[in-house]
Amino acid sequence: MRIRRREFLRWAGGAAALPALSRIAAADGYPSRPITMVVPFAAGGGTDIFARILAEAMRAPLGEPVIIENVGGAGGSIGVARVVHAPADGYTLSIGTLTTHVLVGALYPLQFDVLTDLTPIAELGYEPLLIAVRNSLPVNNLQELIAWLKANPDKGSAGIPGAGSTGNLAGISFQKTTGTSFQFVPYRGDGLAVQDLIAGQIDLMIEPSSNFVAQVGAGTVKALAVTAKTRHPGMPEVPTVDEAGLPDFYVSIWFGLWAPKDTPKDIIARLNAATVVALAEPDLRAKLGKLGQQVSDRDQQTPLALGAFQKAEAEKWWPIIKAANIKGG
C-alpha cells in the first residue's frame, strides 16, 4: 500500500475564473468580526503550523483576524464536529487533513457525515512524511532501523495522532513493506507525540515532516528518511526513501479548509478568494516551503475540486480501513 498525491481535477479550475480580489467584494458586510479556524489537533503539530501561517496571510484580504482554536481528540473528529455544529455564518472554519476529513468517517461512529455536513472552501497544500527516531535508539539510518525492528519484533513503539490516521496507515504500510512489527501509541496530536519522542518514551514516528524541522535542526531527534522523491528543503541533509534503501515508499498528507453545511455561497466565495490570495503570497510559500509543505496547484484550490477530491479519497481509503478492521481509539 502506498499513499500517493495525485494530479486531480484540472477541469475544476474554471469554477474560480473570476479574479480573486474582485470576488472578495461579493459578500457585502462579511466579515465584520474575527473568524475562528478550528484545528482538530493539539498545538504544535503540522496542521497547527499550517493553520497559523495561513491565518496570518488571510487577515489582510479578509480585513479581520483569523483566530486559531485547537480542539483535539478522537483522530480529529471532535474538532471537526465543533465546526459541523457551528452556525453556518462563515465565522467558524475547519482546517484539516486526509485523516480528519476522510479517514475518520470509516474509523468512528460519527454523529455527522464528514462528506456532506461541511462545505468545501479550498484545498490548501500537502507535504511528505518523515521517518524519525529517538536519539537513544541504536540506529543511524533507515536500514539499521529496519534491522533493529526485525531483531526486536513487537518491542518498538511508534507514536501516532490516533488510530487510522495517515501516520498509522503509513506505519502499517511500512510494516508490510519491510517485514517488521511494532506497536502503535495513539496521542491527541503530533506535537505531544514528538515531545515523547524527544524524551525517549517512544521509538519512532512516521508523520508529517513539518513536525520535526526544529527538532532535527536542534539535534533532539534523528531523521532517517523523507517519504518523497526529492529531499526536504528544510532538512536537505536527510535522504529520501529511495536514497535510504526503501524505494517508492512515497507518503504525503494533504490539507483543506471547510465551513459548516449551508454556509451561504457568497460567503464561501469570499473565503475561497481570500484563501487563494493568501496561498499566492510569496512569504507564505516560503514559510511553508521551509517546513516541506507545498501549496496546492491553483486549479485545485476551488470548492468543487476539494469536494470531489475528498469524495474520491473516501472511496479509496474507507474500504481499506474497513477490510483491516481498524477502529478509532
**C-alpha closest to that of 86 among 99, 69, 108:** 69
Is residue 102 scored above 90 in pLDDT? yes
> Region 30-36: what's the mean pLDDT?
97
What is the chain's mean pLDDT, rounded? 90
Give dist(CA 6, CA 146) in Å, integer.
28
Asked if 86 and 269 touch (Cβ cutoff 8 Å), the reply is no
Q: Label residue 327 by pLDDT band (50, 70, 90).
A: confident
Is residue 28 scored above 80 in pLDDT? no
Give the least confident one: 10-19, 286-295, 307-316.
Answer: 10-19
Is residue 317 scored above 90 in pLDDT? no
> Region 238-263: what's the mean pLDDT?
96
What pLDDT score does 2 carry? Answer: 42
Q: Label residue 74 by pLDDT band (50, 70, 90).
A: confident
Question: Whole-angstrom distance between the N-terminal and C-terminal Cα of the chain?
Answer: 22
What pLDDT score does 270 carry? Answer: 98
Based on its alpha-carbon atoms, the radius of gyration of the chain, rounded to whole angstroms, reads: 19
Domains detected in the chain:
10-127+254-323 (3.40.190.150), 128-226 (3.40.190.10)
Give dist(CA 309, CA 286) in Å, integer.
26
What pLDDT score does 329 carry? Answer: 64
What pLDDT score does 233 carry? Answer: 84
- pTM of this structure: 0.76
Helix 265-279 vs helix 46-62: crossing angle, to nearest 10: 110
For residue range 161-182, what is the model confidence (pLDDT) as tens digits?
877 888 888 999 899 999 999 9
Contacts of 21 (CB under 8 A, 6+ apart): 61, 273, 277
For residue range 192-229, what is the model confidence (pLDDT) as tens digits?
999 999 999 999 999 988 889 899 999 999 999 999 88
**C-alpha closest to that of 257 among 274, 237, 242:** 274
Q: Write out the DSSP string of 13-33.
A: GGGG-S-HHHHHTTSTT--SS
Is residue 232 scored above 80 in pLDDT? yes
